[in-house]
């Protein structure tokens, strides 16, 4: 019999994945997860990044995560960095709604990439 996990159980598995693979603290901030997903999407490995690079890595993660929801579309690489076009403006969301949307998108990403 297959057990279907709820979002909370998926989220716990994702947090454990980051703890096990990236030595993050328990309950890491969403920005940490976005940064690490951005690194994964960039594919350049561990190196020194400027503050601007770190902001761009988080942006890459947000674009990649929200692409399946119809907000962004990958177009090409420029100087090794993925580029996205905005298809639809993000709706006005309260901070807790933003967090819920990003968690849902991260869960979907982990499922699509078969990481959990």
Chain segment 13-49, per-residue pLDDT in tens: 998 888 888 777 788 888 989 999 999 899 877 788 8
User: Would you put residue 33 in left (φ > 0), alpha (ψ -120 to 50) or beta?
Assistant: alpha
3-state secondary structure of 75: strand
The pTM for the full model equals 0.86
What values do phi and psi take at 4, rounded to 5? -95, 125
pLDDT in tens, 52-92: 999 999 999 999 999 999 999 999 999 989 999 999 998 89
Helix axes 51-66, 95-112, angle to 10 degrees: 70
> Can you list the alpha helix ranges (DSSP code H) found in 23-76?
30-42, 51-66
């Amino acid at each position: 019999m297959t057990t279907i996990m709820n979002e909370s159980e998926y989220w716990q598995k994702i947090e454990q994945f980051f703890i096990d693979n990236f030595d993050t603290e328990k309950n890491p901030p969403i920005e940490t997860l976005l940064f690490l997903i951005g690194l994964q999407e960039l594919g350049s490995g561990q190196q020194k990044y400027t503050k601007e690079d770190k902001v761009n890595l988080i942006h890459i993660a947000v674009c990649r995560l929200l692409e399946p929801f119809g907000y962004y579309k990958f177009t090409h690489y420029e100087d090794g960095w993925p580029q996205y076009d905005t298809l639809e403006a993000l709706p006005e969301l309260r901070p807790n709604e933003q967090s819920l949307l990003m968690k849902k998108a991260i869960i979907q990403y982990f499922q699509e990439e078969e990481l959990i």
